[in-house]
């Protein structure tokens, strides 16, 4: 009995080895190929949309109805490809005080500018409550590169584009936003904590030396003066003036003094103030064009662990296999 059990276990191990080991090596080769691919992840949304619709038709309707709609969807897609029609490129910019996504949009824009056709368009899905002036100023300048080349830029705001985020939005040819998206906040804020009184209380002496009258206006540990405070506020107001000037240059229809009070508005009210051009979500905008435009969403791949790569590779392999069936 033990001999039979022993042989059975060895047989199972052999079967597992035959199945698992080749699969493991295939996955390693696949991951290796993935590494050699460039950092850009380009998703064809037309194809993705058709794939997802086919799944729903298959699950919900009878077999004959599924086949009719499946063929219809596939034929529409083939026709679109043959027509060599215009393209819509989608880029994402997400909330961060340092505007870290600037580097990503810079790379993508640099690739698109030489290859984009006359009737093509870029849609930037913007979600940002702003941050440091120089960081968001650079992000806006990257978008101006498109404007300088007469490339149509639409910006969609589904959640928020405030302060530096709205600074970026004004570069667009068209701004759309969802009903309750937060828009505006055209103002400048700076918070400087001061621990001088606490240090004095504990008899901690601070020496604070500068060269240049305004090298340090307000500081964290030294005693602040009215002279320094006045200069600090002047710099803040100067930044606000530059902010307003940039917005007025890029969106001249705005009554700049009326909307640059630091307030924010929901999109439905922002529309009346000409801060945006239309109430519409990014999804609506994309679906409007899905049957007439080739739509590509462009992302930059992030550095991920081997475990994440393995999981993503398995997912991609399964998806590609299904797509071919």
Quick one: pLDDT at residue 320? 46
Q: Where are the alpha helices (DSSP H) in the chain?
A: 2-36, 45-60, 63-83, 102-115, 133-148, 164-169, 196-201, 226-250, 256-259, 267-272, 282-289, 306-324
Torsion of Cα atoms, 297 then 300 then 303 then 309, to 10°: 30
Q: Give catalytic residue positions.
A: 163, 215
User: CA 262 to CA 242: how far, in whole Å?
Assistant: 14
This prediction has a pTM of 0.77
pLDDT tens series, the chain, 325 aa: 556 656 666 666 666 666 665 666 566 665 555 554 557 889 999 888 888 777 777 777 777 777 777 777 777 777 777 676 789 999 999 988 899 999 999 999 999 999 999 899 999 999 999 999 999 999 999 999 999 999 999 999 999 999 999 999 999 999 999 999 999 999 988 888 888 888 888 888 877 778 888 888 888 888 888 888 899 899 999 999 999 999 999 999 999 999 999 999 999 999 999 999 999 999 999 999 988 899 999 998 765 555 555 565 555 555 444 433 3
User: CA 184 to CA 18: how far, in whole Å?
Assistant: 62
Provide DSSP, 283-315: HHHHHHHTTTSEEEEEEEPPP--HHHHHHHHHH
Q: Report the SS3 class of residue 110.
A: helix
Q: Report the SS3 class of residue 279.
A: strand
User: CA 155 to CA 281: how far, in whole Å?
Assistant: 10
| In contact, 77 and 46? CB cutoff 8 Å | yes
User: CA 176 to CA 187: how far, in whole Å?
Assistant: 22
Provide DSSP, 153-165: EEEEEEEEEETHH
Only one residue has tokens 């400048």, namely 188
Opening angle at CA 300, ends 299 and 305, nearest 5:
120
């Amino acid at each position: 009995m033990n001999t039979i059990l022993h042989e059975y276990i060895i047989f199972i191990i052999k079967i597992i080895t035959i199945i698992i080991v080749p699969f493991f090596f295939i996955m390693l080769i696949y991951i290796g190929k993935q590494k050699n691919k460039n950092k850009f992840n380009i998703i064809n949304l037309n194809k993705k949309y058709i794939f997802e619709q086919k799944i729903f038709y298959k699950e919900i309707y009878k077999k004959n109805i599924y086949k009719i709609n499946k063929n219809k969807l596939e034929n529409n897609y083939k026709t679109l490809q043959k027509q060599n029609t215009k393209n819509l490129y989608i880029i994402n910019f997400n909330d961060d005080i340092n505007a870290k996504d600037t580097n990503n949009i810079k790379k993508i824009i640099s690739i698109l500018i030489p290859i984009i056709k006359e009737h093509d368009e870029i849609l930037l899905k913007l979600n940002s409550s702003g941050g440091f002036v120089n960081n968001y100023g650079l992000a806006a300048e990257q978008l101006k590169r498109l404007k300088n080349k007469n490339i149509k830029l639409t910006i969609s705001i589904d959640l928020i584009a405030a302060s530096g985020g709205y600074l970026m939005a004004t570069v667009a040819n068209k701004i759309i936003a969802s009903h309750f998206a937060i828009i505006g906040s055209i103002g400048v804020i700076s918070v400087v904590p001061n621990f001088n009184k606490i240090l004095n209380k504990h008899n901690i002496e601070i020496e604070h030396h500068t060269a240049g009258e305004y090298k340090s206006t307000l500081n964290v540990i030294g005693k602040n003066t009215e002279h320094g405070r006045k200069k600090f506020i002047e710099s803040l107001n100067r930044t606000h003036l530059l902010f307003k000037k940039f917005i007025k240059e890029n969106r001249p229809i705005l009554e700049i003094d009326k909307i640059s009070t630091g307030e924010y508005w929901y999109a439905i009210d922002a529309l009346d103030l000409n801060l945006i051009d239309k109430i519409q979500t990014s999804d609506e905008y994309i679906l409007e064009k899905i049957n007439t435009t080739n739509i590509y969403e462009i992302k930059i791949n992030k550095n991920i662990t081997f475990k994440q790569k393995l999981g993503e590779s398995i997912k991609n392999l399964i998806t590609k296999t299904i797509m071919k069936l």
